[in-house]
Amino acid sequence: MVRCLVLPFDLSCCCSIVDGNKYKGSIYMVFEYMDHDLTGLADKPGMRFTIPQIKCYMKQLLTGLHYCHINQVLHRDIKGSNLLIDNEGNLKLADFGLARSFSSDHNANLTNRVITLWYRPPELLLGSTKYGPAVDMWSVGCIFAELLNGKPILPGKNEPDQLTKIFELCGTPDELIWPGVTKMPWYNNLKPPRQLKRHVKDAFKHFDFHALDLLERMLTLDPSKRISANEALDSEYFWTDPLPCDPKSLPKYEASHEYQTKKRRQQQRQADDAAAKRQKTHHSQPPHARLPPIQQSGHQIRPAQPTNNPHPPMASGSNHHYGKPRGPGGPNRYPPGGNQGGGGYPNRGGQGGGYGSGPYPPQQGRGPPPYPGGGPRGGGSSGGYGGAPNFPQAGPYGPGGPGRGPNYPPQAGSRNQQQQYGNWQ
């Protein structure tokens, strides 16, 4: 049976000039059925993502967002419930109701009342109307930390509270770390009464080193220095063990969406209220809380040992840190000349700064890009967002190119030439 999503669309605005709305009607937009959204899937009771699974979802998200940005489209509402996932492991960006095309014209004014509050970047909360793709990358950073941490990291109650939570985590911005911030419309009204220091590394010190480095660059206060989707796809996080898994290898789950999560929470609250009114002696079950991701071999969170087990329980290692085998003897982890699934890459380029960085010197490319403009781990790039997605796909803009390729099939290559957008205010 074919399942699909049907969305009604009012056609009256299109027919207002035809015989006085004589042909007024509706259009039904039919899309393929997606079994889950990321919020609904993450909130399933007992759900625990693995690190390769998180890398797989994040890589697909960045690939889709990179394609939007090189085609000059801002999504402006990246959040878990707008990321749809099917039971084949495919992730798709949805809900482009707030999307807007942009150009290199820095004088264009855009509304700052966009992006769901918990995922809204500081420049919009401070009143900026001139911004670019960096606003989407802040939202991606919030989702990334949420997947690794097991819960939202910046759950503000209102705009001032949201900005306070951002400053408590990322520090108070000033002209030194964010030039021009003191001239933003609402800075003087919303700045904290005292100077706060940045402590992202302290708050998430249980994250893997490469994950923490990528998160730091996504949650950079100055949007001109914030990492782009193109650069994020080329970060070490996606090219170190454990590698992103093949989407088709992910388990299949029962359908789950955000509205089901809200309904389950509402039912739990009603049950708690009823139990309190009846003054029962037993306590109702506490609301479901997300679990942190499952660690890899050698550092996996293990279940409690049975009492009759003669072997003592094994101690778990530090979270999100994967050491490589040491000592003599035994085969190497990777075949000569490269890493597992990625191939050798002797000529690695340096990591870029962000949207405001200058061009990079030419370096060894990873192969021809699948669509014009170059891209992550592809050939030469004409701009920070000119590049091929790091995840090979077939679609309207061409099949996946060789490049460095996805992490799960073995391919070879090296990092591409990196260039940037220009300064986004």
**Which residues belong to the active site?**
77
91, containing H or E segment: strand 91-93
Whether residue 143 contacts residue 233, with contact meaning beta carbons closer than 8 Å, is answered with: no
Pick the closest to residue 6 from 33, 24, 41, 25 (CA basis): 33
The alpha carbon of 256 is separated from its chain's Cα centroid by a whole number of angstroms, namely 19
At 168 the three-state DSSP class reads helix
Copy the structure tokens of residue 297.
Answer: 């071999």
Whether residue 214 contacts residue 237, with contact meaning beta carbons closer than 8 Å, is answered with: yes
60, containing H or E segment: helix 51-70
Q: What is the DSSP letter of 138?
A: H
In sequence order, which residues have a C-beta less than 8 Å from that of residue 228 and are 6 or more positions away?
66, 69, 133, 134, 137, 352, 354, 355, 384, 385, 420, 421
* CA within 13 Å, CB half, 141: 28
β-pair partners for 74: 100
- Cα–Cα distance measured from residue 148 to residue 210, given in angstroms and rounded to the nearest whole number: 13
Q: Phi/psi at 343 (nearest 5 deg)? A: 80, 170
Is it true that the peptide bond before 410 is cis, omega within 30 degrees of 0?
no
* Helix 209-218 and helix 134-149, axial crossing angle in degrees, nearest 10: 150
The alpha carbon of 233 is separated from its chain's Cα centroid by a whole number of angstroms, namely 11
- Cα–Cα distance measured from residue 93 to residue 61, given in angstroms and rounded to the nearest whole number: 7
Using the CB atoms, write b or e for 242-279: b if 16+ within 10 Å: bbbbebeebeeeeebbbebbeebeeeeeeeeeeeeeee
10, containing H or E segment: strand 4-10
Whether residue 89 contacts residue 56, with contact meaning beta carbons closer than 8 Å, is answered with: yes
Pick the closest to residue 415 from 373, 379, 385, 387 (CA basis): 379
Q: Phi/psi at 80 (nearest 5 deg)? A: -60, -40
Copy the structure tokens of residue 57.
Answer: 């979802």
Q: What would you report as the CA-atom Rg of the chain, rounded to the nearest whole angstrom?
A: 24
